[in-house]
Amino acid sequence: MVTLTRRRFCLGMAAAGLLAPLGLAGCRRAAVPVTVAFHPWPGYAPLELARQLGEWPQAWLQALPTASATASVEALLAGTAQAAALTLDEALRLNARLPLAVIAIFDQSLGADVVLGRQPWPLDRSPQGLRVAVETGTVGALMLSAWLQQAGLARDAITVVPMAVAAQETAWHNGEIDACVTYEPVASHLLALGARRWFDSSQLPDTTPILDVLVVRADALDRHSQALRHLVDALFAGQRHWRELPLDAAYRLSPWLRLPREQVAASFKGLKLTDWYDNRSWLVGDPPRLRDVATGLAAWMRAQGLLAGAEPSRPLALDARFLPREAPL
């Protein structure tokens, strides 16, 4: 049974005369809903599930579907979104241009981000000129650098083809690329076409994890505090639905992920969804665990040329106040 949203509950109580006028204060409609940008990726599926299930109060929250992390970043920069789902490395890069805060963590990638190629690795020939598609400015750049480092290749040993993940499948069909840095659901589509796995996020060192985080523009934190609490509640409600009713969740997510229902669960392989307890372990503490990880990741990114400046820039803010005080039921 779908749980009533707070807004629907409040309206029903008010209509029944069970809420005093002052009691409606906590249920008042937000002046301007918070716009949340996110693209199809299993880690962000709890938000999509919450939206479909009515756990997404429209008085407070507005979804902005995007095709990629790049588009979500652009929405934050333009101010058309106040919150977005990004990877930690993407958040670190954007934070150098726009002050951000992490308010929740969706997941940790433990194999869900991959480098795929047409032939088994290592190749039986020199990789010189190998055309590798990667969405620059996103987690793809981190994965590419980590793979090159592990493979002992210099960047100029390959030809980097800047390309949004959404365009990779067509480029693969047309023979325009030899390999790509990608993620679900595109990864499943390409593996079904015979692609070979060369490298994945389970091979990353503990100091450079791929974490998907919920970020908010710093200038929206106080202005939209109530809406952001609703947003974090929606995240955990979506996670709960996935855990408790996975078949229904797969049915709902199939068109969003562009995968057959029977393949939806497999797309979560290599992905650890972070629940309320995990979120507290990452975001609460003195210092929070995420602070050290973000600092270490930023240092590695600077060394790889993935983060501008030789010295640490403005630290990425962490804000745990929007997490529920107790574990959601």
Question: Tens digits of per-residue pLDDT, 250-285?
Answer: 999 999 999 999 999 999 999 999 999 999 999 998
Cα 192 to Cα 249: distance, rounded to the nearest angstrom: 23
In three-state secondary structure terms, 108 is: strand
Q: Residue 51's pLDDT band (boundaries 50, 70, 90)?
A: very high
- In the chain, residues under CATH classification 3.40.190.10 are 31-108+208-318, 114-203
Average pLDDT, the chain: 88
What pLDDT does 4 receive? 39
Distances (CA, A) of 37 to 65, 125, 229, 251, 296: 6, 42, 16, 22, 27
Q: Residue 12's pLDDT band (boundaries 50, 70, 90)?
A: very low
Q: Residue 31's pLDDT band (boundaries 50, 70, 90)?
A: low
Interval 240-252 mean pLDDT: 97
Give residue-wise pLDDT tens across range 149-188.
999 999 999 999 999 998 999 999 999 999 999 988 899 8
Q: Residue 17's pLDDT band (boundaries 50, 70, 90)?
A: very low
Give the list of residues 6+ apart from residue 73 with CB closer than 8 angstroms, or none.
84, 86, 90, 94, 137, 138
- The third-level CATH classification (topology) of the domain covering 31-108+208-318 is D-Maltodextrin-Binding Protein; domain 2 (3.40.190)
Amino acid at 96: A
What pLDDT does 312 receive? 63
Cα 46 to Cα 69: distance, rounded to the nearest angstrom: 17
Answer yes or no: is pLDDT of 243 > 90: yes
Answer yes or no: is pLDDT of 15 > 90: no
Q: Which CATH number fits domain 114-203: 3.40.190.10, 3.40.50.1220, 3.40.50.300, 3.30.460.80?
A: 3.40.190.10
- Cβ(316)–Cβ(102) below 8 Å: yes
Interval 302-318 mean pLDDT: 81
What pLDDT does 2 receive? 40
Percent of the chain with pLDDT over 70: 89
Give residue-wise pLDDT tens across range 110-135.
999 999 999 999 887 778 889 999 99
Give me the helices (H) in 2-138, please: 6-15, 45-53, 69-78, 88-95
Answer yes or no: is pLDDT of 303 > 90: no
What pLDDT does 8 receive? 42
In terms of phi and psi (left: phi > 0; alpha: psi -120 to 50; beta: otherwise), the region of 320 is alpha
Answer yes or no: is pLDDT of 28 > 60: no
What pLDDT does 309 receive? 67
What pLDDT does 213 receive? 98
Interval 17-46 mean pLDDT: 69
CA gyration radius, the chain = 21
Interval 68-77 mean pLDDT: 95
In three-state secondary structure terms, 183 is: coil
- 């973000």: which residue's tokens? 294
Answer yes or no: is pLDDT of 145 > 80: yes
Give residue-wise pLDDT tens across range 217-235.
999 999 999 999 999 999 9
Give residue-wise pLDDT tens across range 79-112.
999 999 999 999 999 999 999 999 999 999 999 9
What pLDDT does 198 receive? 96
